[in-house]
A = this chain, B = another copy of it.
Amino acid sequence: MYQKVNELIDPYLSKTGKNIVSLPTFFGRYQDIIHRSLCMAVKVNQSDQLQTILRYHLGEVDTRGNPIESSKGKALRPVICLLACQALGGVIDHALPVATALELIHNFSLIHDDIQDGDKERHGRPTVWWIWGRDKGLVSGNAMRILADTTLWEMINQGVGYSKSLLASQLLLESYIEMIDGQYLDMSFEDSLDIKLPDYILLISLKTGALIRCAMELGAFMASDDKTLQQAFRRSGELLGASFQIRDDYLGVWGDQSITGKSVGSDIFRKKKSFPVVYTFDEAKGKDKAVLDKIYSKQFLNDEDVETVLEIMEKVGAKEYSDKMAYSKCKEALNALPVTNISRQGWKEFKELGDFFVSRSY
């Protein structure tokens, strides 16, 4: 299967022939400065315990505020932002404040999501609300969110200039509002059995896509005043965001439990309207459709229900189609990039990013 899809999106994705799961090495080049910047951001004016909660969530300290061996996240959004900036010959320090803001906004949404979903663990660590309670979790999320706003002054301190800094923070705000709209849409979808693929694509372009798109656009914006270039990165980011979420949805159904930390079919169990589910609802016919409708009308699913849904998914080819769509969006994303403006090294790394997006296991 992978070989076939790799052929489809050749020449842009390297033909590794195997399922690449490790992060591209260029992530390492940016992660340290991003985490230093996040560290600085959470020190702004917060009370001690609130700071501990934020730093705990970011994987820097334990619940009592003692430094721990890194449990830090991938920092995907800021890494993409810095990569876009550097690939166009921009100054990393100019893009670092917005990159940091993107990670803070992303983490704010994780803290609130965990409360809403009642998730007690994230990447093997107890979640904030599970340790400190829902109320403190809620406020901590709000604190994380607002720290993103302090980055506007960081840009100005870095010499980005008032006008450009303001435009950058406007783009950030726009993507944040889209993300909120997406979260809202997601909740509305939960109550409906009749979600079509185009609805779903709109949803993910808002909920997940907005920040990834913004990461690409702001990286380019910090490196260049060329609007066409910025638009190309914006479009590419949109597609990368869709590809990322479809792969996420794929892993939520068929991911390796030992890597994702979730059991096979866990998103089915939660009745999440993810890409494979929406596709299967669209494609299933006759008796299968009736069975699906019946299962998704129940309040709680059991193992047998999950098994049945997996069988219907198998029948309609949901796994292959999800895989193919993640690949195809990623191919489009790379195609959208203005190759001639991007450094040779940058281009190589964007291809590594694409490889990672479509074949990651976590």
Contact = CB atoms under 8 A, between A and B. Distances in A.
B143 A47 contact: no
Contacts of A138: 112, 115-116, 138
A204 to B, nearest CB: 15
Interface string A162-177: 1100100110011011
B46 A181 contact: yes
Contact of A45 (B115, B178, B187): B178
Contacts of A184: 47, 49-50, 136, 139-140, 143
A211 to B, nearest CB: 14
Nearest to A170: B153
B146 A177 contact: yes
A160 interface: no
B173 A146 contact: yes
Contact of A163 (B139, B162, B181): B162
Given A150-B173, A153-B170, A180 B116 contact: no
Nearest to A149: B173
B45 A146 contact: no
A1 interface: no
B173 A162 contact: no
A152 B143 CA distance: 20
A181 B162 CA distance: 29
A163 B161 CA distance: 10
Contacts of A170: 153
Nearest to A47: B181
A181 B45 contact: yes
23 contacts: A45-B174, A45-B178, A46-B181, A47-B185, A49-B184, A49-B188, A50-B181, A116-B134, A116-B138, A136-B184, A136-B187, A138-B138, A140-B184, A142-B145, A142-B180, A143-B177, A143-B181, A146-B177, A149-B149, A150-B173, A152-B166, A156-B166, A162-B166
Interface of A: 44-47, 49-50, 112, 115-116, 133-136, 138-140, 142-143, 145-146, 149-150, 152-153, 156, 162-163, 166, 169-170, 173-174, 176-178, 180-181, 183-185, 187-188
Given A47-B184, A143-B180, A146-B173, 8 more contacts: A46-B177, A136-B184, A142-B145, A142-B180, A149-B173, A150-B173, A153-B166, A162-B163
